[in-house]
Amino acid sequence: MPRIDSTNCAAAVERVLGDRQRHELQLDPHPTGVHEAYAPLAHPPRLRIYVASHQGRHALIDDRDQLSADQRQRLEVIEAEYGTNEPNSLPAPSNPRLHCRSECKGEMLLLLGQDNRQRSPVDYVAFLDDDIEVRSSHLLQATELAARKACPIFQLQLSADSHAIWAQLKQTQRPETLEAAGPPQLWDAISFVEVMAPVIAQPELDAGLLEVLAPFKSGFGWDFYLLPVLQQLFSDFQPGLYRGACMRHQRPVQTAGTTRFSHGLTASQEEELLRAALLQTLLSNPLGLERHAFLQRLKAVLLQLGPVEQALASGLADHTERQWRCRSLEQQHRQLQDQLQQLETAHQQERERLEAALDAVHQSTTWRLGHLLTAPGRLAKRYLRGQRS
């Protein structure tokens, strides 16, 4: 197993402290390539899908009836009902159902991870929001490729019409030059996957990847900060994006982070506390630690957040607020520049129109005749002005 070294630790510290906008700009907007060679499998992977449901409703397309008998045996779907206190009053589902009493996706991930430990072992576990429209067969197909790449965590690409924050995770049209070069790459290496529909390898769950969410409700920061830090610390932790199929996110993404949960924190405050705990853990001499040990140390910090971590979180929150204000002012400045450019263009067009109209008048026969008829008067005026002078 890879261990943390000083170079990787320094890069991770910079990632936690760095400007969020700069991190966003470093994401490759159009990752492309060709097919790669993948390792053979000792056995086909088994996949468990937890799909959140609200009043018994979700968007998963369960098409297991179209799969082979072997594929059906390797695929399990469990509905996690969060929309009612009385799940037994709902119509009986076609899949096993459990009641997941959670306030938001982060807490749901933690609870479902705990439930997963009580069930038969699988190779990968998917955690889907209730508005993620995706075929179970496509998730299994992606899992088979992920297993051949030993990918620890991945998601499917989003359809072009999905609600999403990151354009890099959406289906893209390849340039003609790349189309001519060969078939598109089915797998992209990325720095993180979104919390809405991650598919996680069982060893990562065993190592405690979801346990760090214990103090939280929302999961804010788990994707954009924790996963990239793990990628920088450990060479074998490479999140992936499967492009062989699409999923669709039906609801707008809530990014304000202002909802206050039962423990008194907002999602944004949770994110800053996670960043503070990451920084504290990275500065506690973690060199030589393997991933499970690092996650255990991080969880210990999170479960005992003291004045130092609170102060760090406060400072990071101030820094983040200034970044967002700066971004807002930059956007306003660009909008004003665009408006000014539009006004200048409109003014230039109106001026050209008037000049063309005046030129057309000067070229008309009526204007020329009138100009000729008024010539004596103009000559008389010039003569009188000359006499006065």
Domain assignments of the chain as residue spans, ordered by start: 6-305
CATH number for the domain running over 6-305:
3.90.550
CA distance linking residue 119 with residue 48, whole number of Å: 10
Helices (H), the chain: 6-17, 20-25, 69-73, 105-117, 136-149, 176-181, 202-207, 227-233, 267-282, 291-303, 307-362, 365-373, 375-388
> For residue 144, what pLDDT is reported?
95
End-to-end CA distance of the chain: 104
Is there a contact between 193 and 203 (Cβ–Cβ < 8 Å)? no
Is there a contact between 169 and 155 (Cβ–Cβ < 8 Å)? yes
Is there a contact between 313 and 275 (Cβ–Cβ < 8 Å)? yes
Written as one letter, the residue type at 201 is A
Three-state SS for 157? strand
> For residue 66, what pLDDT is reported?
95
Written as one letter, the residue type at 53 is S
CA distance linking residue 260 with residue 196, whole number of Å: 20
User: Which tokens go with 329?
Assistant: 């002012």
Distances in whole angstroms, Cα of residue 240 to Cα of each of 11, 195, 231, 344, 372: 20, 14, 11, 47, 81
Q: pTM for the full model?
A: 0.81
Distances in whole angstroms, Cα of residue 130 to Cα of each of 79, 93, 155, 192, 297: 9, 15, 15, 21, 32
CA distance linking residue 387 with residue 64, whole number of Å: 106
CA distance linking residue 17 with residue 13, whole number of Å: 6
CA distance linking residue 295 with residue 306, whole number of Å: 18
pLDDT tens track of the chain, all 389 residues?
799 999 999 999 999 998 776 766 666 655 544 445 677 888 999 999 999 999 889 999 999 999 999 999 999 999 999 876 666 777 788 899 999 989 999 999 999 999 999 999 999 999 999 999 999 999 999 999 999 999 999 999 999 999 888 888 888 765 554 455 555 678 998 999 999 999 999 999 999 999 999 999 999 999 999 999 999 999 999 999 999 999 999 988 776 677 899 999 999 999 999 999 999 999 999 999 999 999 999 999 999 988 888 888 888 877 676 665 676 677 777 888 888 888 888 888 888 888 887 787 777 777 677 767 777 777 777 777 776 66
